[in-house]
Homo-oligomer: A and B are copies of this chain.
């Protein structure tokens, strides 16, 4: 587990699995989304629904994502997804994700997102309070 990473654990469900008996790869992106929500709630103290979306009227669409699938994941396994910050821009930021089962690497991803004002659908600066809390998950900062 990388230093300063936020960990979210996910049980591999029957509903995630495909006819090969392993996680159908689009479901990993659902789990990335869940991990982002868990990080907002438990990592940067800004619940995704009530605080971020409803009260601040912000959204955080992905601009790009790259994922590598190292080994498949099977029903009943617990997938740990570790998330950390690799770049904090003005409106955009980049996250790394590493997925493992009992310490064995299964996948990794790099995800670029952008904060937008839902009223205008345009990019808006990352709020200062969130930015400072996001910095705690940025390993490269001393």
Using a CB–CB cutoff of 8 Å, the interface residues on chain A facing chain B are 12-15, 17-21, 24-27, 29-30, 32-34, 37, 47-50, 53, 59, 61-69, 72, 74-76, 118
Contact = CB atoms under 8 A, between A and B. Distances in A.
Nearest to A41: B76
22 contacts: A13-B33, A13-B34, A14-B24, A14-B34, A14-B37, A15-B18, A15-B34, A17-B18, A18-B19, A19-B53, A20-B59, A25-B29, A25-B33, A26-B26, A26-B30, A26-B32, A49-B74, A49-B75, A53-B75, A61-B69, A64-B67, A66-B66
Q: Assembly of this chain: how many copies? A: 4
Q: Which of A13, A15, A69, A74 has the most CB of B within 10 A?
A: A15
B65 A37 contact: no
A30 B48 contact: no
Given A37-B13, A49-B76, A69-B62, A21 B24 contact: no
